């Protein structure tokens, strides 16, 4: 098992990409703190892991709140004694609207969760990694952070910011044997992309089916990706297999280019 004796914090671990990463990491031997804002969702994933012979705890917290993050890191250290892997997966879609119609409140909240939350989790998880001279940080960004994304300015800008944070931390932390990378998913099949498609269809005055077809046609492989595709790359980067990869953004999108 590639993550035996490793401890991972996974934010947004109750569903979608976060759930897939948590289940795979647990299967590979990691002990996990699952973070999320929906208690029932993260508890369900933790229970699934524990029933299958793994070890996981659920910790409800808003990662945009500094004190919440401090307490979450303390809980992980109290329960497991160390932190080896931080997966900054929590994120929100933000509004679907032209820039001129985006409220400051929606802009700020999108940044608070998507970017500031990742910063805060890293800020408080890293001291232990620095002390033990080993660790891995994975930031789940988006292809929306690799190019222009009409009607999604807060989301796109916050995901661009995650890539800048990734590259900067990699340069700062390499001397401590800490790898920092980003994964940029494209359209991932599931409820979240369905909601995004619905809002986009309303914005451009087209059917959901037309918008979805356009999105799929924008990929080289002509299909959406699965949560498990992202989890597989996360495992690779968090394991010894990825020990000499840092400061990179890996695009898993079926070949989508914005």
pTM as predicted = 0.95
CA–CA dist 94, 89 (Å, integer): 15
CATH 3.40.50.720 fits 7-186+225-252, yes or no: yes
Q: Give the model's pLDDT for residue 191.
A: 83
pLDDT in tens, 143-162: 999 998 999 999 999 999 99
Quote the percentage of the chain above a pLDDT of 90. 88
pLDDT of amino acid 204: 87
Phi-psi region of 12 (alpha: psi -120 to 50; beta: other; left: phi over 0): left
Predicted confidence band at 225 (pLDDT cuts at 50, 70, 90)? very high
- Residue 61 near residue 35, CB atoms below 8 Å: yes
User: Residue 252, Cα to own-chain centre: how many angstroms?
Assistant: 13
The active-site residue, picked from 59, 124, 149, 155, is: 155
Q: If you search the block for the tokens 């988006």, which residue do you land on? A: 142
pLDDT at residue 197 in the model: 87
Whether 188 and 181 have beta carbons less than 8 Å apart is answered as no
* Residue (of 11, 109, 120, 119) closest to 60 by Cα position: 11
Structural contact between residues 87 and 21, judged by C-beta atoms closer than 8 angstroms: yes
Report the alpha-carbon distance of residue 92 to residue 133 in Å, rounded.
32
Among 254, 90, 255, 247, residue whose Cα is nearest residue 182: 247
Say what the pLDDT of residue 44 is.
98
What local confidence, expressed as pLDDT, does residue 29 receive? 98
Q: Is the pLDDT of residue 244 over 80?
A: yes
Tens digit of pLDDT for each residue in 153-187? 999 999 999 999 999 999 999 999 999 999 999 98
What gap in Å lies between CA 136 and CA 118, rounded to an integer? 13
The mean pLDDT value for 134-141 works out to 98
- Bridge partners of 135? 178
Identify the pLDDT of residue 247.
98
**Predicted confidence band at 190 (pLDDT cuts at 50, 70, 90)?**
confident
pLDDT tens for each residue of 82-117: 999 999 999 999 999 999 999 999 999 999 999 999
Mark whether 149 is an active-site residue. Answer: no
Q: Which are the contacts of 160, defined by CB distance < 8 A and separation ≥ 6?
A: 145, 146
Q: What is the DSSP letter of 71?
A: H
Question: If pLDDT is split at 50, 70 and 90, which confidence band does 194 have?
Answer: confident
- Amino acid 34: pLDDT: 98
pLDDT at residue 233, as a whole number: 98
Q: Is the pLDDT of residue 258 over 80?
A: no
pLDDT score recorded for residue 195: 86
What pLDDT sits at residue 58? 98
pLDDT at 81 over 80: yes
């Amino acid at each position: 098992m590639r993550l035996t004796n490793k401890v991972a914090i996974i934010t947004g671990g109750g569903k979608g990409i976060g759930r897939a990463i948590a289940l795979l990491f647990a299967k590979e031997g990691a002990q996990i703190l699952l973070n999320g804002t929906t208690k029932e969702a993260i508890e369900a994933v933790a229970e699934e892991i524990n029933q299958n012979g793994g070890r996981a705890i659920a910790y409800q917290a808003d990662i945009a709140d500094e004190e919440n993050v401090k307490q979450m890191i303390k809980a992980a250290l109290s329960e497991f004694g160390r932190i080896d892997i931080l997966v900054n997966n929590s994120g929100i879609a933000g509004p679907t609207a032209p820039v001129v119609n985006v409220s400051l409140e929606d802009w700020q909240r999108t940044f608070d969760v998507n970017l500031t939350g990742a910063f805060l989790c890293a800020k408080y998880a890293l001291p232990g990694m620095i002390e033990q001279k080993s660790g891995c940080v994975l930031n789940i960004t988006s292809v929306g952070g690799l190019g222009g994304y009409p009607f999604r300015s807060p989301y796109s800008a916050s995901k661009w910011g995650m890539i800048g944070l990734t590259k900067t931390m990699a340069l700062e932390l390499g001397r401590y044997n800490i790898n920092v990378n980003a994964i940029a998913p494209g359209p991932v099949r599931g409820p979240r992309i369905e909601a995004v498609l619905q809002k986009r269809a309303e914005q451009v005055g087209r059917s959901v089916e037309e918008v979805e077809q356009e999105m799929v046609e924008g990929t080289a492989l002509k299909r959406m990706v699965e949560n498990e595709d992202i989890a597989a790359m996360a495992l690779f980067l968090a394991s010894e297999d990825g020990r000499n990869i840092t400061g990179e953004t890996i695009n898993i999108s079926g070949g989508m280019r914005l």
